[in-house]
Amino acid sequence: MKERSIIPYLFLAPFMLAFFLFFVAPVLYSVYLSFLIKKRTGTFGVATDVFGGFSNYIRAFNDSDFLASFGHIVVFGIIQIPIMLALAAIIALILDQVTGPLGRFFRSAIYIPYTIPSVIAGLLWGFLYSRNLSPVNYALTALGQEPFNFLSPLPVLLFSIGNIVTWTWTGYNAITLYANLQTISRELYEAAKVDGATGWHVIRYIKLPLMRPALLLTFIFSIIGTMQIFSEPFVLRGIGFIPINITPNTYLYQIAAQDANYSYAAALAIIVAVVTFAFSGFFLRMVNRSNV
């Protein structure tokens, strides 16, 4: 009897162990780090970490570079996420209609960008965006125009990054939505047809409402993904100046990996996580409420 009650926990143990080691422990360590500040003695002394209370958090809320990074990412998300999801939904609806080898081909083709590592993708796009070597600018100069600067001003830069993100993730989201569409019983369509529904009616009154859970899922994932954008702007630095606070994560990188201020970076990371959590929770709630 006793043995039996232990067994489930034994099965769970490997997961719990890994979960604790790789998820819970680092989070706890970050929380601990975030309360430390650097104490320096003399001019060339080694800095020591001492308890600093909430001073890292206070600093964060007064750090205009950090706060601005949220502004960038919110503007980015408001424009990029709807465009990407609308595209993904359209592609999913089309894929759902197309059968045969052509359908299979496009299903794979649309997914390919997602399988390319984002650093490689960033390098490829970086080539398209570079001042002299970009084919776009090559054409412009040949036509006697000034080369276009893809990295500046800020809205253009956000657009350029958005391009890369959309290119990478539209296929992934489309496949998720497509899988959802495939689960809809075909009998529903037949019944609709018998009732005289047109193709548009089927999409508007059957497919879209039934896609809702999947759309919501991709939407939440997109919000989280947007908050974590890092490698695209980071790789683009090779071709020109990218503000270090273009996203919260690039700014975090500067603080941790360049300035070596790990405790301040930990505080920033926790703030980013809380904001992400709040954003996703807020939208989830809003959508659920309108559902009722």
Partner 1 sequence: MKRFLIAGMALTTLASVAVAQSFREPTFPATLNNGQPIELTYWSWVPNMDKQAALFTQKYPNVKIKVENLGGGQSGTYPKLQTAIKAGSGGPDVAQVEFGYIPFFASTGGLVDIGKLLPANARSFFPAWTWAQVSPDGKSVFGVPQDTGPFAMIYRKDIFDKYGVKVPTTWDEYAAAGKALYDKSGGKVKIGNFFSTFAPWFTALVWAGGGQMWSVEGDGYKQTLNNAVSKQVANYWGDLIKKGYVSTLPAFSADFWNAVSAGQVATSMEAAWGTGSFAGSLAKNPGEGALYRVAPLPQWKKGQRLTTGNWGGSTAVVTKQAKNPQVAATFALWLMTSKTSLVAGWNGAGLFPAATSGLGLPELAEPSRDPAKFFGGQNVAAIYGQASKSVNTNFAWSPWAPTVDASFQKQMDRAVKGEITFEAAIDAWQEETVAKAKADGYNVK
Q: Which residues bind partner 1 (CB under 8 A)?
A: 37-47, 59, 127, 130-133, 152-153, 237-241, 243-244, 253-254, 256-262, 264
Give the shortest CB-227-to-partner 1 separation in angstroms: 22
Give the shortest CB-57-to-partner 1 separation in angstroms: 13
Report the residue number, 161 or 244, with the smaller CB distance to partner 1.
244
Q: Which residues contact 174 (CB under 8 A, 6 or more apart)?
A: 87, 88, 89, 91, 92, 95, 110
Give the shortest CB-244-to-partner 1 separation in angstroms: 5
Report the residue number, 210 or 256, with the smaller CB distance to partner 1.
256
CA distance 149 to 139: 14
Q: Which residues contact 207 (CB under 8 A, 6 or more apart)?
A: 93, 96, 181, 184
Give the shortest CB-145-to-partner 1 separation in angstroms: 14
Report the residue number, 39 or 204, with the smaller CB distance to partner 1.
39
Report the residue number, 42 or 100, with the smaller CB distance to partner 1.
42
Q: Would you state the structure tokens that stand for residue 226, as one six-digit string?
A: 């947007």
Report the residue number, 41 or 185, with the smaller CB distance to partner 1.
41
Report the residue number, 124 or 216, with the smaller CB distance to partner 1.
124
Contact of 247 with 73, CB cutoff 8 Å: yes
Give the shortest CB-220-to-partner 1 separation in angstroms: 31
Other C-beta atoms within 10 Å of 271: how many? 19
Report the residue number, 45 or 196, with the smaller CB distance to partner 1.
45
CA distance 210 to 212: 5
Give the shortest CB-117-to-partner 1 separation in angstroms: 17
* Concatenated DSSP letters of 115-157: HS-HHHHHHHHHHHH-TTT-HHHHHHHHTTPPPP-TT-SHHHH
Contact of 64 with 150, CB cutoff 8 Å: no
Report the residue number, 171 or 233, with the smaller CB distance to partner 1.
233
Give the shortest CB-45-to-partner 1 separation in angstroms: 7
Other C-beta atoms within 10 Å of 121: how many? 19
Give the shortest CB-72-to-partner 1 separation in angstroms: 14
* Concatenated DSSP letters of 11-73: HHHHHHHHHIIIIIHHHHHHHHHTTEEEE--TTTPPPEEEE-TTHHHHHHHT-HHHHHHHHHH
Q: Which residues contact 129 (CB under 8 A, 6 or more apart)?
A: 150, 151, 160, 236, 239
